[in-house]
A and B are shown apart, each in its own frame.
Chain A
Amino acid sequence: MPKTILVDTSRCTACRGCQIACKEWHELPANKTTQYHWGSHQNPQDLNAYNYKLVRFSEHLDNGTVRWNFFPDQCRHCEIAPCKETGDLYIENAIVQDEKTGAILYTEKTRKFSDEQFKEIKEACPYDIPRRDAKTGLLAKCTMCNERVHAGMLPACVKVCPTGAMNFGEREEMLKLGQERLAKLKEKWPDAMLADPDSVNVIYLLIDKPENYHKHSVADAGLGPMSKQQFLATLARPFKAMKA
C-alpha cells in the first residue's frame, strides 16, 4: 500500500516552512537569488537540483477580487512514473520505485544518463519535475523523505506545516480525507478539484482553476494521465523483462 501526501492548497499560507525544511533535511545548498528583473516572492524562480520543493505564487483578478494562489510544488510520485518508465529504457533501475512506500527515487546510477536521455526523462514528466545537478550529474527531485518514512517519521515538509495543508498517510486514508475536504470546499469554490488523484501519490486539492496555480499543476490534457512516453514505455516492458 503506497503512502500518499495530500496537499490542501485551501489551507496553505505560503509560509514556506516546507520549502525550507526540505532543504534543511536534505542539506541542500542555497542558490544565489535576486529580485532583479524578477520581482516576485517565488524564490528561487524554479525547481532546481537544490530545491526539491518550491512554493509557487500566482496572482490574478477574479471579477475585481484578488486571488493569490500558493502551490507547494514537488514530485507527485506517480503510480506509474513516466520518468522511471523512460529511464528504464536506457538504464534499468537508475530510477526505482520503493514497493513499500511507492516513492519514486533517483539512484546513483542516474549519473550515467546522457544529456539527451535526461532531456527525454524530463519531458516525460507531466509535471516538469526532474532536474539534474550540473556538478555531480545526478538527477534530483523530492524523495518523499523515504528514509524518514521508513523510520516511522513524517516527511520533513509535512512535519513542519503549521496549518494542515500538508498531510501524509496511507493512500486510501489520504484519498478519503481529500474527498471529504473537497466536498466541503465545493460549496464555496465550484472549481475545487483533486489533481490527478488516480495516478499520483502526491495529490493536490485545488480551489481555483489549475492554470491559476501553475502551468503544470495537473497533467496536461494532451499528455497525461497516460503520456506518449509512458505509452511507449509500457510497450517496451516485455522487452525489458526479457532482457532481465
Chain B
Amino acid sequence: MTNHWIDIKNADSILIMGSNAAEHHPISFKWVLQAKDKGATVMHVDPKFSRTSARSDFHVPLRSGTDIAFLGGMIKYIVDNEKYFKEYIVEYTNASLVVGKDFGFKDGIFTGYDPKTRTYDKSKWGFELDENGVPKRDKTLKDPRCVFQLLKEHYSRYDLDTVSTTTGVTKENLLKVYKAFAATGKPDKAGTVMYALGWTQHTVGVQNIRSAGIIQLLLGNIGVAGGGINALRGEPNVQGSTDHTLLYHIIPGYMAMPHNGWQTYDEYIKGNTPVSNDPMSANWWQHKPKYFASLLKAWYGEHATKENGFCYELLPKIEKGEDYSYLFLFDRMYRGEIRGGIIIGLNPMNSVPNTNKLRKALDNLEWLVTSELHNTETTDNWHRPGIDPKKVKTEVFLLPSAHRLEKEGSVTNSGRWHLWHYKAVEPAYEAKPFGDMFCGFMKRVQKLYAKEGGKLPEAVTWLDYPDKYDPDDLCARINGRFTKDTEVKGKLYKAGQQVPSFTALADDGSTSSLNWLYAGSYTEEDGNKSKRRSTKQTEMQKNIGLYPNWAWCWPVNRRILYNRASVDLNGKPYNPAKAVIEWKDGKWIGDVPDGGWPPMATGKGKHPFIMSKHGFGQLYGPGRQDGPFSEHYEPVETPVDSNKFSKQLNSPVYKFVASEMDKLAKPADPNYPIVLTTYSLTEHWCGGGETRNVPNLLEAEPQLYVEMSPELAKEKGIKNGDGVIIESIRGRVEAIAMVTIRIRPFQVHGRTIHEIGMPFCFGWTTPGTGDSTNRLTPSVGDPNTTIPEFKACCVNVRKADKLTELAT
C-alpha cells in the first residue's frame, strides 16, 4: 500500500478491482464502510458478484483478463474530458518529459522487440536529455513527443465500443465507473484503488497495476489522504516477507539479485546505482551503495571489508536473464535437474498451476524437507491417489512447525506497519518456529564446510549467522548497527550501537543493516518500535486517522508515501480538509515528509517522487519488461481469436515453460469455450492446508464448488448442487455446481461468453472435499514477475456421471 488500512476511510471514491476485499480482507471493510457512511461511492469491478459487491454501491461484471481494456478506457475518458489534475501532472509526473525518438508503438508492439528472444530492448524507450543530461520538458504539454501527448495517442484506441465488446461490460456501466472515479481529479477529492491477486495473477499483471498507477497520477490521487494504489497483501506478513526477500529476483531492501554480469562489488554498484544530473531530483537510489555495503557487512560481519568488496564475490550469482521462479523451478524438477530441497510455507502441490505436472515433478526428488502444522498435498505427495508409494523414491522429512500463536516476532502489514506479534502459548511437543530450524540447518552446514571444506567454503563459514533464533535480536540486526564509534548530528554512537536511521548508513564498512528500509525501527533512543502502542497524535494527524506512535512504518515512519505530492509548490495542502503534510513556520508538520527539503517554490526543493531517477510520478514507465504504457492483450488461453486493439493477441513477452505436460488450448478453442477464474474464500486460507483441518471452518465451506450462471447451467443441463466435471487441456476436476445469478454471461465480440469461478483451497488429504483446482490452470506468467495466470484460462464443464473426489 502507498497508504494504509485506516486511510481508506478518507476516500471520496473507492474502486475495488482485482480484489474481493470483503471476503479476503474482512477488516478492510471496517474502513470502506466508514468512507461510505461519509458519502463515498464504493464500486466493485469483478467477474463475480461477491460479498464485496453486496456491500458496494454497485457491482460491474467484467470478463477475466480484460482489466487493461477497462482501465485504458478510463484513461481515455479522463484525458478526453480533461478530468485530470493539471497542476499535479505538470509539476509532479513525467507528463511534460519529452520521449526519445526511438520510442514507438505499432500493431500492438513497442519498439525494440526481438521476436527470437521475446524481449524488448528498453534502451529504445528513454527520454530526450538536454546538454546537461537533464530530461527535456514541455510544461505546456503540447510537444507531440511529450509523455502526455504520447499517452493521449496510445489510449485513443480505447473507445467505449471497443472496450465494451472486449470486456463484456456495457457502455452504461463503463461510464458509471469512469464518471464516479474521474470525479476525484479535483484537488479536494481523493479516490483509492484497492487491488489484490485479481490484478497480479495475469500475464499482464504488472501492467494492470501500471494502468491504475497512470489513472491515480492523472487524477492527483497519489500522496494524498484517501488516495493511493493499495495492494491488499494476502496474509498478515506477506509485506514483510517481500521486504525481506521471499522472492529470488531481489535481495533485502529491493536491491537486484547479483548475477553473473556483475562479478565484482564495483560492477554491481555501477550496474545498480542510478545517476541523475538534475539538481531538483533527489534520485534516492543514488544511496544504494550505502545500503548494499551495510547489507553485506551484516551478512559477513568482520570478514567484510572495503578492500574485499565486503565479500560480494562470495555471494552466489544467478545467470543473467534466467528465471528461477517456481514455474521454472518445478519445470527443472520435472526434467530431473533437481535432486532435493526444502518446501516451507507453501503447498505447491495444490497452489501452483498445472498440479498434475507438479505432482509428477516432485516424485523426481531424492529427498524433500517440509515443515507444516498438518499433512498437506505436498508433504503427502508420495502416496497421493493413483500412485504406488513403493515406486516413489523421495525420502520426505516432515518437521512439525510452531503455529503463529506459538511464536513471537515482527509482522509487516499491507500498510507497511512493522508490528510486534506476541507468543500466546508455547509450541506443542517438538514443534519449532521456522527460525529455529533455519539456525539449526545453517549451523550444521557451517560446521560441515569448516570440517570438510569444499568450493568457496568462506561463502558459508564466514556468514555472521546467529546460533539461536532470537527475533528481537534479529530485528535489531535488521535495523543495523555501527561497527565503529561514529558521530551523527553531534551525537556519539559507540561501535555495536544501533543506527538511528538509514541516513546514518555508510559504504565504508562503518555500519551494518540487514534491510535499509527498516533502519530506524529499532534504535538506541526508543528500542524496538514495532512494540509501540501509543495512540498519541496531533490534531492534524487525528483528522486523517494517522497514528505515528503506534508501531512503526517503513520508510522512516512515513505513513503515506509520496506525500509531498499532496501539497502545492508552496507546501500548502491541495485539500486542507484532509491535509497529510504542510509547510508551516519553516518546517513540515503532519506525516513524515518524503525528504525534508523546503517546498519546490523556494528553489531548494526536490521533486516529490524521490524513488524514481528523475523524481516524477511515472505516467510513462520505461522500466518494465512489457512496455512503458499498458496495453490490452488477451490471456494466453482466451475464448476469442482476435484482439480488437491490435494485431497482437497475447502479450508478446509473457513467460512459459514447455514440457509435454504444458499444453495450451488454442485461441477460441471450441473444446474449451468457457473462461475459468480461480479464487480464495473467507473461510479457508490459500491452499487450505491449515484451515481444512479446522473443523468449524470446514463446516462453513466444506467442498469444492464451481459458481456458474443459470444460463450456462441450463445450456449444460446442470442443476444447483449437481456434481460436475470441469476440464481444461491439462486436467480434469470434480466440483459441485453452485448455480447463481451472481455470475452473468458476457457479451464479447458480439457473442455470449460464459465464465465460471472456483476456489483452489480443497485437496485430497482432506477426504471428500475435492482436489486441486490448479490441475486446470496453465504455467504461463507475467514477464516482469513470472506470477502465473491463475485468473483466466479456458475450460469446459459437464454434468458428472459419478463422483470420486467429493463426498455426497
Chain A proximity of B80: nearest CB distance (Å): 29
What residues on A are CB-neighbors of B26 within 8 Å? 13, 15, 17, 162-163
Cβ of A61 under 8 Å from chain B: yes
Query: A35-63 vs B: 1/0 string, CB under 8 Å?
Result: 11111110110000000000000011100
Q: Are B698 and A41 in contact, CB atoms less than 8 angstroms apart?
A: no
A23 within 8 A of B: yes
Q: Is B101 an interface residue (CB 8 A)?
A: no
In the bound complex, do residue A13 and residue B29 qualify as a contact, i.e. CB atoms below 8 Å apart?
yes
Kindly state the interface size class of chain A when it binds its partner: 35 or more
In the complex, which residues of chain B have a beta carbon less than 8 angstroms from the beta carbon of A31?
Answer: 699
Beyond A17-B26, A20-B696, A29-B695, whether A59 also contacts B721 by CB under 8 A is no
Report if B807 contacts A (CB, 8 A): yes
In the complex, A70 has a CB within 8 A of chain B? yes
Task: Write out, one digit per residue, whether chain B residues 714-747 have a CB within 8 A of any chain A CB (1) or not (0).
Answer: 0000001111000000000000111111100000
Q: Name the B residues within 8 Å of A35 (CB-CB).
A: 702-705, 721, 736, 738, 806
Q: Is B701 an interface residue (CB 8 A)?
A: yes
Q: At the interface, yes or no: A16 with Cβ under 8 Å from chain B?
A: yes
Give min CB distance, B432 to chain A, whole Å: 26
What residues of chain B lie closer than 8 Å to A16, measured between beta carbons? 682-683, 700
Chain A contact surface mostly: loop
Judge if B655 is at the interface, Cβ distance under 8 Å.
Answer: no
User: Which residue on chain B has the smallest CB distance to residue A38?
Assistant: B721
B23 touching A15, Cβ below 8 Å: yes
Min CB–CB distance A242 → chain B (angstroms): 47
Residues of A within 8 A of B682 (CB): 15-16
From B58, B705, B721, give the contact of A37 (CB < 8 A): B721
Quick one: which of A13, A36, A60 contacts B55, CB cutoff 8 A?
A13
Given contacts A36-B736, A36-B808, A163-B33, contact A20 B700 (CB under 8 A): yes
Binary CB contact string for chain B from 39 to 70 against chain A (1 if under 8 A, 0 otherwise) = 00000000001011111001100000000000
CB pair B702 A33 closer than 8 Å: yes
Q: How far is the CA of A34 from the CA of B723 in the complex (A)?
A: 11
Q: Say how far B3's CB is from chain A's closest CB, in angstroms.
A: 19
B477-506 residues at the A interface, CB under 8 angstroms? none
Report if B22 contacts A (CB, 8 A): yes
Residue of A with least CB distance to B55: A13
Complex interface: chain B residues within 8 A of A225 (CB): none
> B51, B721, B740, B806: which contacts A15 (Cβ < 8 A)?
B51
Q: Which residues of A contact B739 (CB under 8 A)?
A: 39
Task: Assess whether A144 is interfacial by the CB under 8 Å rule.
Answer: no
- The reply to whether B702 and A164 form a contact with Cβ atoms under 8 Å apart is no
How far is B723's CA from A188's CA once the two chains are assembled, in angstroms?
Answer: 40
A139-183 Cβ-contact flags toward B at 8 Å (1 or 0): 000000000000000000000001110000000000000000000
Alpha-carbon distance between A66 and B710 when the two chains are bound, in angstroms: 13
Contacts of B622 in A (CB 8 A): none
Whole-angstrom distance between the Cβ of B665 and the nearest chain A Cβ: 27
Chain B residues with CB below 8 A from A236, complex form: none
Q: How far is the CA of A29 from the CA of B694 in the complex (A)?
A: 11
Contacting pair B51 A13 (CB below 8 A): yes
* Partner pick for B30 among A19, A43, A164, CB 8 A cutoff: A164
Q: How far is the CA of A210 from the CA of B720 in the complex (A)?
A: 24
Q: Residue of A at shortest CB range from B683?
A: A16
Q: Using A34-B703, A39-B736 as known contacts, say yes or no to A70 and B54 having CB atoms under 8 A apart.
A: yes
User: Judging by beta carbons under 8 Å apart, are B701 and A43 in contact?
Assistant: yes
* Complex interface: chain A residues within 8 A of B30 (CB): 162-164
On whether the beta carbons of B51 and A34 are closer than 8 Å, the reply is: no
Residue of A nearest to B808 (CB): A36
Contacts of A60 in B (CB 8 A): 741
Pick the contact of B738: A17, A23, A39, A61 (CB < 8 A). Answer: A39
In the complex, are the beta carbons of B29 and A162 less than 8 A apart?
Answer: yes
In the assembled complex, the Cα of A70 lies from the Cα of B741 at a distance in Å of 16
Q: How far is the CA of A43 from the CA of B741 in the complex (A)?
A: 19
Give the top 7 A-B pairs by smallest Cβ distance, nearest first: A30-B695, A35-B736, A39-B721, A37-B721, A13-B22, A39-B720, A30-B699
Known: A24-B696, A30-B696, A34-B768. 18 other contacts (CB 8 A): A13-B55, A15-B23, A16-B682, A16-B683, A17-B26, A20-B696, A30-B695, A33-B698, A33-B699, A33-B700, A34-B702, A35-B702, A39-B737, A41-B701, A67-B54, A68-B53, A162-B29, A163-B33
6 residue pairs from A and B, CB less than 8 Å apart: A15-B23, A34-B808, A38-B736, A43-B702, A66-B49, A162-B30
